[in-house]
Amino acid sequence: MKIKSFRVVPTLPEPLRPILSLAYNLWYCWNQNGLRLFRHMQRDLWEEVCHNPVEMLSRLSQGRIMELMEDQGFLSQMERTADDLSDYISEKGVYSFLLAQPVDFTIAYFSMEFGITESLPIYSGGLGILAGDHLKSASDLRLPLRGVGLMYQDGFFTQYLNIDGWQQEDFPKNDFYHMPLVLEKNQEGKPLKISIQLGGRECYAQIWRCQIGRVPLFLLDTNLEENHTEDRKVSARLYAGSMEDRLRQEMMLGIGGVRALKTLGHEPIVYHMNEGHTFLVALERIRSMMKEKGMDFDTARELVKASMVFTTHTPVPAGNDVFDIGLVEKYLKPYADEIGLSWTDFVSLGRIRQNDHSEPFGATVFALKNSTFRNGVSKLHGEVSGQMWQDLWPNMGLQDLPISSITNGIHIPSWISSDMADLFDRYLGPKWKENPDNQKVWESIDDIPDSELWATHERRRARLVAFARKNLIAQLKNRGAKPNDLARAREVLHPDALTIGFAKRFATYKRGLLIFRDLERLKKIISSKDFPVQIIISGKAHPRDQEGKAIIQKIIHIIREDPFRDRIVFLEDYNMNLTRYLVEGVDVWLNNPRRPLEACGTSGMKSTANGALNLSVLDGWWVEGYDPDLGWSIGNGEVYENLEYQDQVESTAIYDLLERELAPLFFDRGLDGLPRGWIEMMKNSMRALCPVFNSNRMVEEYTDRCYMEAALSQRTLIANDYKNVKDLMAWKKHLVNHWKEINILDIYHEQGDEVMVNTEVVIKARIRLGEIDPGQISARVYYGHINDAGNLSGTKDLIMEHVKASSKGIHTFEAHLVCEDTGRLGYTVRIMPRHANVRYPVDLGLICWA
C-alpha cells in the first residue's frame, strides 16, 4: 500500500502569530516571561504536553484561542516577550577575549545527547544536560557555535516501577512534527539528506534543526523509507542495544554529522567532541581534508588534530566505548581503505599498546590520539583522567600529560525557580543572568533581607512537597493501590521539615543505599519531633543495569515500612522537570559517590543557585567548591581499599552530620522564626559558588583555552597555501629520522655537594644533538627532594637555556635553580622537541632523559 504524506502545522489568528516564533525557539525555556506566557495559555494542557509549546498550540481549542485574543494582559505580555526574543537574536557584537588578533571562526559541538528541555527527550543524564547548558551559554555569549547530534525516534526511556519496586521501561515515540523542530530543506523544498556507508549499505539521514537562542542544533534522523530496515533504527533509541548498534550510531553522529554541516554550508574551524561517542568526527575530517586538498594522511591528520577539542566525562568503563576488532573492521575498514591507511595502522589509532593485537579498539583512545586539546570536567577528574590514560604517553610524569581540566558549570537561568529569579532581579539586577561569572554581581546577595530569602525558599519547598504528593498518588494509582494508601499519600512529607534531595542515575558507584545502611539510626533521625528530616529520592538505572535496578527495588521495599513511608518518597521517571522541582525546593543536596568516580556532578550546583546547601563526598566539583562555611563534606577525601569499611565510615559520617550539625542548625530559630545561621550559610554558598560553577564561566574557559587557540593554530597551519603545515611535517620527519642521535653526555653543577639555603645553583648539561638544531629541542631540569627509594618526589622543572656549541656538535645548556628548601635535592634533565606550531610535543613520542 502506497501512502503519501504532508505536514499540518499549527496556525493562529494574526494577533497571536508572535507566539509561533517563541514556540520554535527554545530560548523560552530559560526565560521566565516565555514560560509564564505558555502556562497562561492553558496551564493544565501545558503540563499534559510536558511543556511542549508546539504540541500545545496544535491542541489548543478554538474557544481558548478566542479568549486569548480578547485577553489584553496576555497580548501585551506576548508582544513584550516576542520583542525580547527579537532583540536577543539581533543583538550585535562579537564575543571576544581581547586577543591581540581577533579570530573569525565557527565551532561545531558534537554530542550523543542534548538536554535542552523536557519536551525534547534526547538526553539520559548529566552528559546531555551539560551539553544543553553548553549550547545555552554559547547563545547568551554570542559564541558562533553549532550543535550536532541525533534525533531519536524513541529517545530515552520513561521509568515506572512494578508492584514489587522493580524498574520497568517504556519507550514512547517522539512525534517530530509536534516538537520545536524544523526540517532542513533544499532549494526545491525537499528534505536535505546526507549518507554514509554502513556495513556495505548506503544509509541516509535527514536533518532537523532545533533553535536554542542564537545557536542552531542539527539532529540527524535515519528513519527514512529509502533506508534498509536495520538502518532506519540507527537513530531509533539513545544508547541503543548492542555494541554493533552503538558503533553504527556513532558512525552516523561523527561521520554523518560532519557531512551534514558541510551540506548545510557550515564550515567550522574548531570541532569539539563531547565524550568518546563522537570519536569519528576526527576520521571524517581527515578523509575530507585528504580528498579536497590532495593531502597525505599524516599531513591531513596533523591539520585536523590541531583544531580538535575532546572532553572526556567519566572514569567509569561504561562511558568509554570499546569495540571488538572484527566489528570495527566490518564497518570502518572501507574508510581506512579510502584514505590509504593500512588496517594495522588504523587499528593502532584506537589502541593504547599499538602492537598488542589482543587489545580491542577504544573510542576514547582514538579521540585522545586525534585531538590537541583534551580535558576532564573537574580538577580531580583531570588528574584521574591522566592516571587512566597515562600509558598513551610513556616515560612522562603525570604533571606533563596533555590532559587538562575545565570544571563543568550550570546554566543558572535554566535551573533557578521563578521565585528566586524574581528575588535576584530585584536585588542583584539583570547581570546575574547576563554576567553570572562576575563575582561583584553575587556580592549583592547580602542585600537580600533574610526574611525574603527564607520566605522564597520555604515557598519552593512547599511546592516541592505538593509536587511529590501529586506524583506519589499517581504512581500508587498506576499500581492499583487501595484507597487508604492513596489517602495516606496525600499527607506524606511536611512542608516545614528539613528536606534532603538525592537524585541520580542509579549506577552502583553512586551508592544509592548508603544512607539506608543503618536503618535504626535513620529511623531515629527522620522521626525526631524536634528536628524532623525527610528525603526525596529519584533516579533511573540503565535498562541493562540489573544491580542498579536492585538498588532501587531495595529502597522501595525499605520506604514502604513505617516510619519511612511518611518521610521518604521515591519519585518515578527522573527527568528535567522533576529535577527542577527538586533543586528548587530541597534544603540539602546529598551526593555520596565512591571517590574518585564522580567526574564532576552538577546537580549540587543547581541546588546551590536555589539556596540549598550541599552535603557531599569530596569528589568531582565539590573538591573545588567545598568550604566549611558553604556546606558539609562526607569525610576528607580519603580513598579506601576496603570498600565495605569505606561505606561504613561514610554512612556513619552522614548520620553524625545530620544529627549534630545540619538539623540543629536548620531548626535553630530566632524570635522572628528565622534560622539565621542557616540563612547565613545559604548566602555564603550562593555568593561564593554561583559566580564560579556556571556554564558561562565554563564556555568562556573553553573559548579562551581551547577554541581560540585551536582557531589560531588552524589559521597558522593553513596560511600561505598550507605551507606551514607542510613545513611542520618536514620538521617532524627530520626529527624522527635523527632523534636517536641525541645523547645527554653529562649533567652537573659546580657548587659542590652542600649549598646554603636560598643559594643559586647552576645546573648544566652537555648534549650531543647530531643533525638536530638546538632551537628544535626543549631541555628542562626536573628537580625535587630525594625520597627513601632514591627517587625524585614533589618534582618541579626549569627551562634550560642553550649557552655554548662546540665544533664536535656538543652543546651546553644550563638553568639557574634557587634552592629555597632544605634537605637532599636531586635533579635530572629531559629533552623533547620544540616547535611553534606544536602545542604538546609529548604527542610526538620523542623524549630523551639523562
Digit-coded pLDDT (tens) for 182-221: 999 999 999 999 999 999 999 999 999 999 999 999 999 9
* Average pLDDT estimate for 409-435: 96
Q: Residue 465's closest CA among 573, 586, 562? A: 586
What span, in angstroms and rounded, lies between the C-alpha atoms of 148 and 135?
A: 11
Cβ atoms of 374 and 310 closer than 8 Å: yes
Pairing mode of beta strands 568-571, 825-833: unpaired
Q: Tens digits of per-residue pLDDT, 268-297?
A: 999 999 999 999 999 999 999 999 999 999
| Torsion (CA) 302, 308, 309, 315 in degrees, nearest 10 | -70
Q: What is the pLDDT of residues 418-428, one digit of tens each?
A: 999 999 999 99
Are the beta carbons of 499 and 587 closer than 8 angstroms? yes
- 511-521 pLDDT, tens digit per residue, is 999 999 999 99
Taking only the tens place, the pLDDT of each residue in 40-55 is 999 999 999 999 999 9
Question: Are the CB atoms for 196 and 203 separated by under 8 Å?
Answer: yes
The packing angle between helices 32-41 and 418-427, to 10°, is 140
> pLDDT band at 808, cuts 50/70/90?
confident
Q: Is the dihedral of CA 669, 672, 676, 678 positive or negative?
A: positive
Give dist(CA 494, CA 476) in Å, integer.
19
Residues 758-770 pLDDT 10s: 888 899 999 999 9
pLDDT of residue 791: 86
User: What's the pTM?
Assistant: 0.95
Cis bond leading into 563, ω under 30°? yes
Distance between CA atoms of residues 840 and 403, nearest Å? 10
Kindly report whether the peptide bond that precedes residue 596 is cis, defined as omega within 30 degrees of 0: yes
Query: Has residue 593 got a pLDDT over 70?
Result: yes
Grid coordinates belonging to 30:
530559560
Residue spans of alpha helices (H) in 270-417: 280-293, 297-305, 325-338, 343-348, 363-369, 379-388, 412-415
C-alpha cell read off for 812: 651546553
692-738: pLDDT as tens digits: 999 999 999 999 999 999 999 999 999 999 999 999 999 999 999 99
The residues near 420 (Cβ < 8 Å, ≥ 6 apart) are: 456, 457, 460, 584, 609, 610, 611
Please give the pLDDT value at position 97: 45
Indicate the pLDDT class of residue 5, thresholds 50, 70 and 90.
Answer: low
